[in-house]
Amino acid sequence: MHAEPLQFNEQPVGVLTLYCTTHTVIDLRPERLTAVEDLLTGYLTGYCAAHPHEDHTIRLHRALHNRQLLDRAIEILMTGHQVSEVLARQLLTQHSADEHMRPSTAARTVIRQHLSAGGSFQ
């Protein structure tokens, strides 16, 4: 395991924690960490611009939680419909647009339907 502080606007907003599931050493080359840090910073930048008075830590947690919801819903759609990730993402986006809801809300709906139908998470 390795923990790397995540800063935004020169403020600590969280910790990027890397886990390794094998007995090998975690690859900490800067080019590997940069992609993940850039992705998180991008989410924060967009969110901070839209909501300037909200606490950055809350934004980070919300953005990461929503990302996990979307990823889980996409996995469910891929498995349930036997489609590619791209098509599953399109299905989720279309469901969101059809129902006039945010993508994270659409993801919650997909997950709830999956669970109520007796599905489980691996």
pLDDT digits (tens, 9 = 90+) for 13-24: 666 676 666 656
Question: Average pLDDT of 83-106?
Answer: 91
pTM, two decimals, is: 0.52
Helix (H) / strand (E) element for 98: namely helix 85-98
**pLDDT confidence band for 82 (50 / 70 / 90):** very high
Q: What CATH number has the domain bearing residue 47?
A: 1.10.10.10
Asked if residue 92 belongs to a domain, the reply is yes
Asked if residue 32 belongs to a domain, the reply is yes
Angle of helix 56-81 relative to helix 85-98, nearest 10 degrees?
110
Asked if residue 89 belongs to a domain, the reply is yes
Asked if residue 121 belongs to a domain, the reply is no
Question: Average pLDDT of 90-116?
Answer: 90
Asked if residue 56 belongs to a domain, the reply is yes
- SS3 assignment, position 14: strand
Asked if residue 12 belongs to a domain, the reply is yes
Cα gap 93→102, rounded to integer Å: 9
- Residue 87's φ and ψ, nearest 5 degrees, are -65, -40
The mean pLDDT value of the chain amounts to 76
Specify the length of the chain in residues: 122
How many structural domains does the chain have?
A: 1
Q: Which range marks the domain in which residue 76 is found?
A: 2-116
- What is the pLDDT, as a whole number, of residue 101? 92
Asked if residue 122 belongs to a domain, the reply is no
Cα gap 111→65, rounded to integer Å: 14
Cα gap 66→103, rounded to integer Å: 9
